[in-house]
Amino acid sequence: MIKLKLNVNGVPKTLVVDPEDSLAEVLRKQLLLTGVKVGCGQGQCGACSVILDGKLVRSCSTKMKRVADGACVTTIEGVGTPDNLHPIQESWMVHGGAQCGFCSPGFIVSTKALLDENPKPSREDVRDWFQKHRNACRCTGYKQLTDAVQDAAKVLRGEMRAADLRYKLPADGKVWGTNLPRPSAVAKVTGTCDYGADLGLKMPEGTLHLALVQAKVSHANIKGIDTSAAEKMPGVFKVVTHKDVKGKNRITGLITFPTNKGDGWDRPILCDEKVFQFGDAIAIVCADTEKQAKAAAEKVKVDLEPLPEYMSAPAAMAQDALEIHPGTPNVYYIQKIAKGGETKPVFDKAAVVVEDDFYVGRQPHMPIEPDVGCAYMNEQGQLVIHSKSIGLHLHLYMIAPGIGLEADKIVMVQNPAGGTFGYKFSPTMEALVGVAALATGRPVFLNYSWYQQQTYTGKRSPFFINLRFAADKSGKLLAMESDWSVDHGPYSEFGDLLTLRGAQFIGSGYDIASIRGEGRTVCTNHAWGSAFRAYGSPQSEFASEVLMDELAEKLGMDPLELRAKNCYRKGSTTPTGQDPEVYSLPEMIDLLRPKYKEALERAKKGSTAAVKRGAGVSLGVYGAGLDGPDSSEIFVELNEDDGVTVYACWEDHGQGADAGALGTAHEALRPLGLTPDRIRLVLNDTSKAPNSGPAGGSRSQVMTGNAIKAGCELLLASMRKSDKKSYRTYAEMVKEKIPTKISGKWTAPATNCDANGQGKPFCCYMYGLFLAEVAVETATGKTTVEKMTLVADIGSVNNRLVVDGQMYGGLAQGIGLALTEDYEDLKKHSTMTGAGFPYAKQIPDNMEVFYVESPRPDGPFGASGVGELPLTCPHAAVINAIHNACGVRITKLPALPEKVLAGLKAKGR
């Protein structure tokens, strides 16, 4: 131990510290400065950035033995407070810089260090600084952060007043469609927002810290688990194994498709007989400290009999492959599509036929905040589980039988989440912390390392697709034939639904009269398939959008004009035979056309022998909602002070659930003339809010938005006086015995798809046109995206700031998907940099988003869903742009430099 005197945020502190501990640990655990966030813990994300003696450092990789006695440390807490915001924090809020907000304290401290050194940085200086200091953001796409720095610098130079930056309520009081900062923004930019790991540090004495014993192989039989040595380790309270689990010890996959050959009970909470994938949890060590738990976890001995590891769909489909779940075939679900007449005669006679094979891989979600949760018993004898869940009621029913409790004995709460992007549509650690709390009778806390986040949470499921188009010589699509295999990892949850997405979205956006195809869900030993933004469409539409360009090439047609010829118009139907709810694609193409022509010109002029430039387009479509009659419920209550409280489980990945709920309620309650601060939100606690359904499939704005609208309208109706103009106060309602708290419900007018993939699964869709401009280095094959343009129709826009943030962030993830991101190699891809995380310089500063707002007949105030649209198909635009630049057609992602270089060499360029 060493004694140090430090000056922390201007306050002298005397500390006794372990010289091997990191500065981040000391600031967080000993000083409770939890504004210092720990993401990767490996010096790769910058979430832990602090200023140490005038220099920006990553505190997770700064050992205390390197911190000088008397050193000065500035953390986010020393930059500004909620009552006294620093201009950088103000600017971060108004530019939407804090989405999930987990990276925000690190970025803001980093910006402070930059502006202390350079008060007038150019945009490129800012981007260089963030790149050099490894400040990583997974939500925003970086553009807003650079905007925020520029405006903060102006305020600090005295060229602008902070007050000029602030959001001003419009004169008519209408906030719908404006840039109102999200309610959680102040807490996020000041580091006062307590994420799961922060809550963990503030748990009561006696809380046990958990460490998992995890499989280091991908497939094996378990012969025995010996916990005796671990139990004798210092600080260990108990080692929990499957024998301690009181219920079925399985998480149900809630299989709803009757033709699924599995039963859904295939995922163990703690492995008993088999290991199904790398990282599977075998035991939980519960100890007084995290260090003790981790040390003891190393001592648990697991006797394994190795089995063949099937690490891809083709491997698991081989004739001689073992059944991964004995009794259930590895191909456990088949989804067909049959629309219109037979395709064979059409293909036989068609003027043009194109065909190709496509692969979109295991894109990792890579939130900056690793998975985290805690559990305890409440005073009513219920088990309370806090996690990053984006499906609180869904998860409750998925884990209750496995844990061995009735559903009403479990309460699920969502912590502020530092990004999920869909991986939290699956339960991750909920059942583990639940089982540990029950087995020990103590509060428990579990925080994954970023390595565990990457290696032991679900990933995007790879699709292997063969696709054929038949067209006439004018380019009119006549028929499509598709075949797709979905590698869903070992656990079946939602695998059938994902396979259905192939039927719904391969070829979507185009009027194709005849379609035949078949998809299948395949059980493998690679990472389990979980939801990821745009779920199924990035795989499905990559195939059809790249093949559209191949068709255009064969026809000698411009790719945008080929899309214009075939896109939905009145009389068109979707691949599922549904009439689109709006027909905005022709207008969107008209808007994009001049920009596309300019991009082609720019590319031509900017190309040299060393750098080839090109432009490419793609079209993206996604449905908002779970399939069929999806529904949601909320409560709305008139408060004693005549404000209103909305209760909902509108879970927040970081996308802005609070802003979505507030904007919708405010619009619905406008007759009351309330300012937004008088509408309170009680979100994401199953003991307080009803089942609004999970936050997935871009359903929340449509389903829960409509439920909020319905509830608010009912409340207004009961408050309205006989003059039809004025409204009762709370006191008047109580006096007249009129209920002040009511429920709002809504069900989508939609029908499930049948066995042939035909139906009207979604009442609202989202439409997008992507334009990518790229530069390809011919010597290395390295591709840089120089500009992205998106024309989006997501209906009427609720909160412009939040929606812009979703668009830029989704585009950034699309660029990552196109060029770098993967989780295939269990070792190489286990870190952020190894898995191809895009930093500031990999994402263009030049991104433009245009909205065509076609009001949706079934959307609340005309709104459709939002978050999935920008990741439906931007990667295909990038790949099409690469072909436009240098003639290399990449069909299997990611387009790593070596693949592009091989293509260039094959073409003799």
| Calpha distance 130→114 (Å, rounded) | 9
Q: How far is the CB of 85 from ligand FES (least distance, A)?
A: 18
- Interface region with ligand FES, contact rule CB under 6 A, candidates 9-17, 93-101, 502-510, 519-527: 93-101
| DSSP summary character for residue 779 | T
| Calpha distance 46→95 (Å, rounded) | 20
Choose among 207, 241, 246: nearest CA to 376.
207
Report the residue from 368, 429, 548, 646 that binds ligand FES according to the rule CB under 6 A: 368
The helix/strand count (H/E) of the chain reads as 25, 30
Largest CA distance in the chain: 85
Report the residue from 57, 77, 102, 655 that binds ligand FES according to the rule CB under 6 A: 102
Q: Check if the beta carbon of residue 402 is closer than 8 Å to that of residue 245.
A: yes
| Calpha distance 603→884 (Å, rounded) | 9
> Contacts from 562-567 at CB under 8 Å and sequence distance 24+?
562/475, 563/509, 563/510, 563/589, 563/617, 563/619, 564/589, 565/474, 565/475, 565/476, 566/475, 566/476, 566/477, 566/510, 566/511, 566/512, 567/509, 567/510, 567/511, 567/619
Q: Check if the beta carbon of residue 227 is closer than 8 Å to that of residue 216.
A: no
Q: How far is the CB of 136 from ligand FES (least distance, A)?
A: 7
Residue 639: how many CB atoms within 10 A of its CB?
14
Collect all residues with Cβ–Cβ distance below 8 Å to 666 and sequence separation of at least 6: 175, 176, 674, 676, 679
| Calpha distance 475→455 (Å, rounded) | 45
Collect all residues with Cβ–Cβ distance below 8 Å to 649 and sequence separation of at least 6: 392, 393, 414, 683, 684, 685, 686, 689, 690, 691, 692, 693
- Interface region with ligand FES, contact rule CB under 6 A, candidates 95-103, 406-414, 598-606, 764-772: 95-103
- Interface region with ligand FES, contact rule CB under 6 A, candidates 34-42, 386-394, 707-715, 725-733: 34-42
| DSSP summary character for residue 359 | E
Comparison of 76 and 269: residue with beta carbon closer to ligand FES: 76
- Interface region with ligand FES, contact rule CB under 6 A, candidates 84-92, 96-104, 773-781, 888-896: 96-104
Catalytic residue from among 305, 667, 868, 898: 868
Report the residue from 6, 100, 212, 534 that binds ligand FES according to the rule CB under 6 A: 100
Catalytic residue status for 821 = no
- Spell out, one character per residue from 400 to 419, where the chain touches ligand FES: x when CB under 6 A holds, - when not: -------------------x
| Calpha distance 484→514 (Å, rounded) | 17
Which residues 619-658 are close enough to bind ligand FES by CB under 6 A? 654
Comparison of 201 and 902: residue with beta carbon closer to ligand FES: 201
Is 140 an interacting residue with respect to ligand FES (CB under 6 A)? yes
Q: Check if the beta carbon of residue 495 is closer than 8 Å to that of residue 474.
A: no
- Spell out, one character per residue from 35 to 74, where the chain touches ligand FES: x when CB under 6 A holds, - when not: ---xxxx-xxxxxx---------x-x--------------
Q: How far is the CB of 216 from ligand FES (least distance, A)?
A: 24
Q: How far is the CB of 105 from ligand FES (least distance, A)?
A: 10
Q: How far is the CB of 23 from ligand FES (least distance, A)?
A: 10
Comparison of 45 and 220: residue with beta carbon closer to ligand FES: 45
Q: How far is the CB of 97 from ligand FES (least distance, A)?
A: 7
Report the residue from 34, 99, 414, 684 that binds ligand FES according to the rule CB under 6 A: 99
Report the residue from 112, 138, 460, 595 that binds ligand FES according to the rule CB under 6 A: 138
Q: How far is the CB of 137 from ligand FES (least distance, A)?
A: 3
In 734-846, the DSSP E strands lie at: 741-747, 765-777, 783-793
Collect all residues with Cβ–Cβ distance below 8 Å to 195 and sequence separation of at least 6: 37, 102, 369, 372, 415, 416, 417, 418
Q: Check if the beta carbon of residue 449 is closer than 8 Å to that of residue 370.
A: yes
Structure tokens at 630: 């999806």
Q: How far is the CB of 699 from ligand FES (least distance, A)?
A: 21
Comparison of 700 and 783: residue with beta carbon closer to ligand FES: 700
Q: How far is CA 27 from the centre of its chain?
A: 29
| Calpha distance 880→874 (Å, rounded) | 10
Is 105 an interacting residue with respect to ligand FES (CB under 6 A)? no
Is 137 an interacting residue with respect to ligand FES (CB under 6 A)? yes
Q: How far is the CB of 871 from ligand FES (least distance, A)?
A: 15
| DSSP summary character for residue 27 | I
Comparison of 488 and 829: residue with beta carbon closer to ligand FES: 829
Q: How far is the CB of 36 from ligand FES (least distance, A)?
A: 9
Helices 143-156 and 123-132: crossing angle, nearest 10°?
110
If binding means CB under 6 A, how many residues of this protein chain bind ligand FES?
Answer: 25
Query: By the criterion CB under 6 A, which residues form the site for ligand FES?
Result: 38-41, 43-48, 58, 60, 98-103, 137-140, 368, 419, 654
Catalytic residues: 868
